[in-house]
Structure 1
Amino acid sequence: MLSSLESAESIADSLASRVESSESVVRLTPEQAARAARVHATLTEFGAAAFFTHVRSRSASKTLYIGPPEVRQKELTPDQLRIAEELDATLERVSSYLAKAPLVLVERRMGQNSQFSPLCRLYVSVENRVNVRLAYMFSTLMFDPEGATGPELTLIDAPEWPETQILVFPEQRLTLVLGSDYFGEVKKGFLRMGMWEAKKRGMLGLHAGAKLVRVRRDGRLQKILVILFGLSGTGKTTHTCHTHFLSRDGEGVEMIQDDVIFLRRDGSFLGTENAFFVKTEGLSPEVLPQLYDAVMRPNVIFENVAVDWRGRVHLDDYSLTSNGRAVVPRENLGKYASSYINVLDPSELDGIAVIFITRRFTVVPIAARLTPEQAAAAFMLGESVITSAADPKRAGQSVREVGTNPFIIGDPAYEGNWMYEFFRRHEDTVSAYVVNTGGVGEVRQNGRVVKPALRVQIPEMARIIAGMLRGEVRWRRDPLLEVEVAEAVPGVDLSKFNSARHYNWPALSKLVAELKDERREWLSKFPGLRRDVLEARY
């Protein structure tokens, strides 16, 4: 298999060159892509385009990284092993097919800065004409290509390929998406390559949202950069786009990015996208009015969202999938959208708040404040549950993902150490928290839920985050979890989320001990991780 992976890089180079020079490629402007795609769309009553796909989530178990040892996955699924064994033959067949297939090309720019702004080339096979929508969606997501500094990233998508597999060649800056028409593969394919290139330049690509928050704290108005980590579907976009009910004089929020940023060691960062890829499940005007309003616009593109014969959108209809999505231009957020996507001068900030969003249902506290060691451990643990965006068949199961980032290329321990050094270096200005958007108190017997968790509601979590940023949370050290947990915050009754109210002492002690054992076992998988992080009590 090793020799196959090495020879595959050469074949991939040849394949990319053949596609770039093919006479079958038609270059499209964003306007041309929109016109070509909307012919195949269901139009909503307000003029937005809606599409349904055959594949409705990412194919993580069929995604293979190909290249030198430092970029390869350490453990492969049965599907990945089979894909690797057949790789050379697959690439030869793909190369032959793409030489004849009708292709469209759109060029876009990731980011909007003069330092690191990759040029992104997306080729899509339009053997099935409706697949031109992928070019339409990507054109809306990213920026015009003028001013791109490089490097050049290429993704080739053949949705009609008979078998789904995602082939990633980091050193060739190339991704092949085969047999999937799900837009998330295009979006994440480019961002994955961008994060790898950013890492090689000393930055760290974070699967995180970012916004600037102005709050009244310590008697004055302060500007705080908020970075929110979270797996897809756990509330990252929801809380990136929430106002947190900040209404005191001068307070407010500016949404910057909702998915991936490139963090630098001094606390500055570069943004990536010109639109949000919003998960529409649970979105309502009552809970999140500003995001709901941004979604219900004619320039939005829906994917796998129910639209009836009258063109009415039903965000609460999950008959075909719960992983409905919408590409929402940042401009739709109006006054809540920042005029910039980068933070280049951290000295203009009063602080940075890093929030790790998890979704658990037993004893993980609703909110906790972390030391630098605990924060780096939280980054490495990446605790949550599997969502329908990742794997609908396993949705709800517990999962750990370093950095809540399923798209890491390279050594995860490097990223954990990078973050630890970042938290230590900026200990006076960077605060770190973990919030649980799930709940507490769930009881299971024989794998079945016999007592559901008490769920924390979105408005409650929004107020908790506001209390953190205003410095209004009262913290207490939990002797079992060995971490500071939120005891009181204005506007929310936190006492109902105290685990001791939901379990007797033996059950509580057992659950916490099991959680700590699981965490220690997980962290031990990463040789090279700093001892301070490995031994963090959290």
Structure 2
Amino acid sequence: MVDRLDGQPNVEHPRPQEIRRLAEQYGTRTKFGNYNFVSTVKNRSAGLTFYYGSPAVLQTRTSARQKELLKNLPRTLAEVESYLNKAPFICVERTMGLNSEFSPRCSLYVSVHREEMVRLAHMVSQTLFDPRPTNGRHPHFRLVYIPEWQEKDRQIVALPEAGITFVLGSDYYGEAKKGFLRMGMWHAKQRGMLGLHAGAKVIKVRDKKGKLRRLGMLLFGLTATGKTTHTCHHHGLQDNGQGIEILQDDVVFLQRDGGILGTEKGFYIKTDSLDPQIQPILYQAATRPDALFENVMVDYKGDVDFADETLTGNGRCIIQRDDLGIHKSEGVDLPPAEELDGLIVAFITRRNTVVPIVSRISPEQAAAAFMLGESIESSGSDPRRAGESVREVGTNPFIVGDEAEEGNIFYEIIKAHEGQIQCYLLNTGGVGEIREETPEGKIVKQKVRRIQIPEMAAIIRAIALDAIEWRKDPAFGYEVPKSAPGVDLAEFELKKFYSQEQIDEMVSKLRRERQDYMTLFPRLDPAIVKTV
């Protein structure tokens, strides 16, 4: 049914400039000269998303509602096919990536039965690259967006093998962005690569002999853990030829040689409490005329308040790579690991009790960290569970297929380049929290000592400069800092917050939880399981 859309009289193909003009009619102009759009649905419908196809792509853990939606799929698709002949649609053609190896064609078909939905076409245009000829060498992904679908039947249907996604009953832009990237990750895996939910950058530092070194860096992390913040932070490296080059902030494709392929020209960042002093690069890009706000508080005068969460805790902004100034990289890809002076792989977790704020880990421990994907739930996926502990393989809610296979591929790649790749675990939460269960729910009896953005930025700088003195941590078997310039490690000493008995109990509980979780993946390499 999707194949014939291009030739139908109800499908228009306006140019991006025309789409922008139409979309801005339905936005609020801000004092920065850009526009804010407000959606009805304000986060991804993760619990209403399901996959259809061969056994290789089906989810192994689904809710009762997902099972019901899957059962009713034939009827739903018949209704969609009929509707595709009736409603007015706009088509936007884009390209994912800027390389000759894997740059899928991306076609968005969005219903403009509600005329203001043209904004979704505009947002896709601002995120993916201009269309380029594929000559049949690259996959073709198609996404059909029908925001006005009945709320009771809201669902996101992904057909990975066909490269097709249906978004029914949601007008949240994140479904379009992740719909295309989900397809990209699945098809990249079929070509021997691994799709990663990670930011990418280059860090330029001078070593102790004054030689300038170029280090690649990948930062894994779930939404709202600091992935984009630290991908787009200069870490105080602003003199003597030192600095950063920002490549990507969300999804990249890891190749067997340790190189990566980028995907997007626009970054979809969270705006809560965006601060010009703490996050200057992001703030500058977000306040440019080409930026697009989604669900940010803008008053009748056009003033923007990033800290106001009246509408949602999931305010967003699409910023352009071109607005990153001197910190923008020339391209969006990283060369093979052997062509750099090193590749730093960092897993961002957000825990509030006994997990060290930074740990240096072995390839086996890194693969375990990949599988554990420990963090907290965010308002971007489920605002009702925001703040709860969560585990997500690869910190990637968009994996299609066997999760153990992804962990094994990741382990094979980093193990093959062990001399060039060094892995770390970064905790952007903190230590010291005590929560207790009560009949009314969980209450915080002792607040967390949070690690602030400047402190974590200093840690990343120290990692790049090889300036941290390490010691063995008996609790988890990691290496943890004995000293780190720019950070007062005494602030995070566990004995300041807990008794030894409490520490032992929390560590043991976390280790048991990790061991139990790993039993879900019987096909995982035993070397990874053993390290947990």
TM tier, smaller: over 0.9
Alignment correspondent of 1:401: 392
Give, as a single letter, the amino acid of the residue that structure 2 aligns with 1:307.
V
Separation in 2, partners of 1:491, 1:313: 33
Q: Are residue 152 (structure 1) and residue 143 (structure 2) matched?
A: no
Alignment correspondent of 2:235: 244
Deviation string, structure 1 residues 125-173 (Cα, Å, up to 9, x no partner): 0000110000000001011112445211000000000121000001111
Contact 2:247/2:332 (8 A) holds in 1: yes
Contact 2:337/2:417 (8 A) holds in 1: no
Structure 2 residues not aligned, in runs of 5+:
none
Alignment correspondent of 1:27: 13
Alignment correspondent of 1:212: 202
* CA deviation after TM superposition for structure 1 residue 285, in Å: 0.6
Contact 2:220/2:394 (8 A) holds in 1: yes
Alignment correspondent of 1:493: 488
Separation in 2, partners of 1:233, 1:383: 13
Separation in 2, partners of 1:155, 1:135: 11
SS in 2 for 1:243: coil
Counterparts of 1:261-300 in structure 2, within 5 Å, are 261-300=252-291
Q: Which residue, 357, 373, 386 being the options, matches 1:382? A: 373
Separation in 1, partners of 2:302, 2:496: 47
Contact 2:337/2:420 (8 A) holds in 1: no
Contact 1:276/1:330 (8 A) holds in 2: yes
Q: Which residue, 433, 441, 452 being the options, matches 1:442? A: 433
Give, as a single letter, the amino acid of the residue that structure 1 aligns with 2:366.
A
* CA deviation after TM superposition for structure 1 residue 500, in Å: 2.5
SS in 1 for 2:122: helix
Separation in 1, partners of 2:309, 2:487: 31
Deviation string, structure 1 residues 247-300 (Cα, Å, up to 9, x no partner): 341210000000000110101111000011111112101211121011001111
Separation in 2, partners of 1:421, 1:90: 41
Contact 1:18/1:99 (8 A) holds in 2: no
Give, as a single letter, the amino acid of the residue that structure 2 aligns with 1:340.
G
* CA deviation after TM superposition for structure 1 residue 344, in Å: 3.3
Alignment correspondent of 2:119: 133
Counterparts of 1:43-54 in structure 2, within 5 Å, are 43-54=29-40
Separation in 2, partners of 1:209, 1:17: 34
Deviation string, structure 1 residues 65-119 (Cα, Å, up to 9, x no partner): 0000010000111210110111111111111112101000000000011111000
Separation in 1, partners of 2:522, 2:505: 28
Separation in 2, partners of 1:390, 1:48: 26
* CA deviation after TM superposition for structure 1 residue 449, in Å: 0.8
Q: Are residue 469 (structure 1) and residue 464 (structure 2) matched?
A: yes
Separation in 1, partners of 2:335, 2:484: 32
* CA deviation after TM superposition for structure 1 residue 343, in Å: 1.9
Q: Which residue, 417, 423, 433 being the options, matches 1:426? A: 417
Structure 1 residues not aligned, in runs of 5+:
1-14
Q: Which residue, 58, 65, 70 being the options, matches 1:72? A: 58
Q: Which residue, 52, 55, 70 being the options, matches 2:41? A: 55
Q: Which residue, 79, 94, 97 being the options, matches 1:111? A: 97
Q: Are residue 391 (structure 1) and residue 358 (structure 2) matched?
A: no
Alignment correspondent of 2:183: 193
Q: Are residue 229 (structure 1) and residue 215 (structure 2) matched?
A: no
Alignment correspondent of 1:520: 515
Give, as a single letter, the amino acid of the residue that structure 2 aligns with 1:430.
I
Contact 2:117/2:171 (8 A) holds in 1: yes
Spell out structure 1 runs of 4+ moving beyond 6 A: none
Farther-moved stretch of structure 1 (183-192 vs 274-283): 274-283
* CA deviation after TM superposition for structure 1 residue 38, in Å: 0.5
Separation in 2, partners of 1:347, 1:402: 27
Separation in 2, partners of 1:374, 1:144: 40
Deviation string, structure 1 residues 499-537 (Cα, Å, up to 9, x no partner): 222111111000000000111111110121000100114
Separation in 1, partners of 2:448, 2:378: 17
Separation in 1, partners of 2:93, 2:231: 28
Give, as a single letter, the amino acid of the residue that structure 2 aligns with 1:45.
K
Separation in 2, partners of 1:111, 1:218: 36
* CA deviation after TM superposition for structure 1 residue 472, in Å: 0.6
* CA deviation after TM superposition for structure 1 residue 345, in Å: 4.2
Farther-moved stretch of structure 1 (149-158 vs 128-137): 149-158
SS in 1 for 2:98: coil
Contact 1:140/1:329 (8 A) holds in 2: yes
Deviation string, structure 1 residues 276-335 (Cα, Å, up to 9, x no partner): 111111210121112101100111110000101011111111011010101111011110
Give, as a single letter, the amino acid of the residue that structure 1 aligns with 2:530.
E
Alignment correspondent of 2:402: 411
* CA deviation after TM superposition for structure 1 residue 246, in Å: 1.1
Report the identity percentage.
49
Give, as a single letter, the amino acid of the residue that structure 2 aligns with 1:151.
P
Counterparts of 1:287-366 in structure 2, within 5 Å, are 287-366=278-357
Q: Which residue, 448, 456, 461 being the options, matches 1:453? A: 448
Alignment correspondent of 1:170: 160
Give, as a single letter, the amino acid of the residue that structure 2 aligns with 1:32.
E
* CA deviation after TM superposition for structure 1 residue 188, in Å: 0.2
Alignment correspondent of 2:80: 94
TM-score with structure 1 length normalisation?
0.96
Separation in 2, partners of 1:282, 1:233: 12
Give, as a single letter, the amino acid of the residue that structure 2 aligns with 1:180.
S
Give, as a single letter, the amino acid of the residue that structure 1 aligns with 2:144.
I
Give, as a single letter, the amino acid of the residue that structure 2 aligns with 1:417.
N
Deviation string, structure 1 residues 478-501 (Cα, Å, up to 9, x no partner): 112221112321111012112222
Q: Are residue 480 (structure 1) and residue 471 (structure 2) matched?
A: no
Contact 2:337/2:421 (8 A) holds in 1: no
Give, as a single letter, the amino acid of the residue that structure 1 aligns with 2:16.
P
Give, as a single letter, the amino acid of the residue that structure 2 aligns with 1:524.
T
Give, as a single letter, the amino acid of the residue that structure 1 aligns with 2:145.
D
Count of aligned positions: 523
Contact 1:114/1:147 (8 A) holds in 2: no
Separation in 2, partners of 1:115, 1:479: 45
Deviation string, structure 1 residues 19-55 (Cα, Å, up to 9, x no partner): 3332100002111110110011101112101100000
SS in 2 for 1:73: coil
